């Protein structure tokens, strides 16, 4: 099957096999990273280009006459000029659902750390607080019991449903929110405003769009309970980051845990990284990245490529 090129294989880690993909091609080339200036040269003879986050815009696509397929090693395809690809007859496929168990697990990893005040108690022990205590336990940092609390979900696709299933196992009640700017509320959902006001935990699982960018802004945060926790394992630009810092600083909400930021990596800094209090947890966009999820991603990429060329 022709020539295949993977432009940013580093994003998949070095601990899983790419053989399900590489074995499909007569000629195969992979690169750890690829700058925009290197793309055309590296892909000039490629029939299939595989990318995770490398941007393939119109100026690049028009200079790749051999290209027949772009296989995206992710669900989001905002790094591809889809209109131009369609005009040029280049097919674009992505992978969906591969990371649902991993993302849901990480969502609750973050939530349980906040609810159990893990950072505070770890620091308490590191500072010899327990060792010097005259009592068998310490109650300085009150913990939240999830049973009976309301788990509010924004984005009820495979990721939101997987997280909700875990929440139910903890005895939580599920509320599914309507889109922020929706004119009607679908059956089985509540308005976005109701979701904000009623949720004890608000968990974001929706793709980024023009309609929901910065939907968790000052107005939204003002509507949330002072005891509420915000979890974002979706996209950083769903949250107004300065507004979140202010809300955390002023105890408008009890805590937040984020796996995503507005710029990744945050090479120019970020106001959330400057906030050092323990009611904020940040992880480096790793919710999707268990070994099992990445292995599924490779397998699905292989099937996507085979399906296009067999059909």
187 is known as an active-site residue:
no
119 is known as an active-site residue:
no
205 is known as an active-site residue:
no
Among candidate residues 42, 119, 193, 285, the one labeled active-site is 285
CA separation for the pair 27, 6 (Å, rounded): 12
Among candidate residues 106, 117, 179, 235, the one labeled active-site is 235
Of 43, 36, 35, the closest CA to residue 6 belongs to 43
Q: For residue 98, is the peptide bond before it cis, meaning its omega torsion is within 30 degrees of 0?
A: no
11 phi, psi to nearest 5 deg: -70, -15
Among candidate residues 264, 292, 303, 307, the one labeled active-site is 264
CA separation for the pair 239, 49 (Å, rounded): 32
Q: Give the burial string for 193-214 (b: 16+ CB within 10 Å, else e).
A: ebbbebbbbbbbbbebeeebeb
CA separation for the pair 104, 153 (Å, rounded): 12
| Cβ neighbours of 106 (radius 10 Å) | 22
Active site residues: 235, 264, 285
């Amino acid at each position: 099957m022709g020539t295949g090129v993977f432009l940013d294989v580093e994003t998949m880690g070095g601990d899983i096999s790419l053989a399900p993909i590489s074995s499909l091609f007569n000629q195969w080339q992979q690169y750890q990273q690829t700058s925009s200036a290197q793309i055309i040269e590296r892909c000039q003879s490629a029939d299939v280009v595989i990318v995770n986050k490398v941007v393939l815009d119109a100026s690049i696509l028009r200079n790749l006459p051999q290209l027949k397929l772009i296989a995206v090693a992710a669900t989001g395809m905002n790094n591809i000029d889809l209109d131009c690809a369609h005009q040029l007859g280049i097919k674009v496929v992505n992978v969906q659902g591969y990371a649902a168990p991993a993302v849901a697990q990480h969502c609750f990893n973050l939530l349980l750390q906040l609810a159990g005040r893990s950072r505070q108690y770890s620091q308490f022990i590191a500072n010899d607080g327990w060792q010097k205590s005259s009592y068998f336990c310490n109650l300085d940092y009150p913990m939240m019991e999830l049973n009976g609390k309301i788990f509010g979900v924004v984005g009820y696709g495979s990721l939101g449903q997987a997280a909700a299933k875990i929440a139910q196992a903890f005895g939580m009640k599920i509320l599914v929110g309507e889109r922020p700017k929706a004119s009607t509320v679908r059956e089985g959902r509540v308005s976005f405003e109701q979701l904000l006001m009623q949720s004890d935990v608000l968990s974001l699982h929706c793709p980024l769009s023009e309609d929901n960018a910065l939907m968790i802004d000052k107005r939204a945060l003002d509507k949330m309970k002072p005891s509420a926790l915000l979890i974002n394992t979706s996209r950083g630009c769903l949250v107004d980051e300065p507004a979140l810092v202010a809300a955390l600083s002023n105890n408008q909400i009890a805590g937040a845990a984020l796996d995503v930021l507005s710029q990744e990596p945050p090479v120019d800094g970020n106001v959330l990284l400057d906030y050092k209090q323990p009611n904020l947890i940040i992880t480096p966009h790793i919710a999707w990245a268990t070994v099992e999820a990445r292995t599924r991603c490779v397998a699905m990429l292989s099937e996507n490529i085979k399906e296009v060329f067999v059909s």
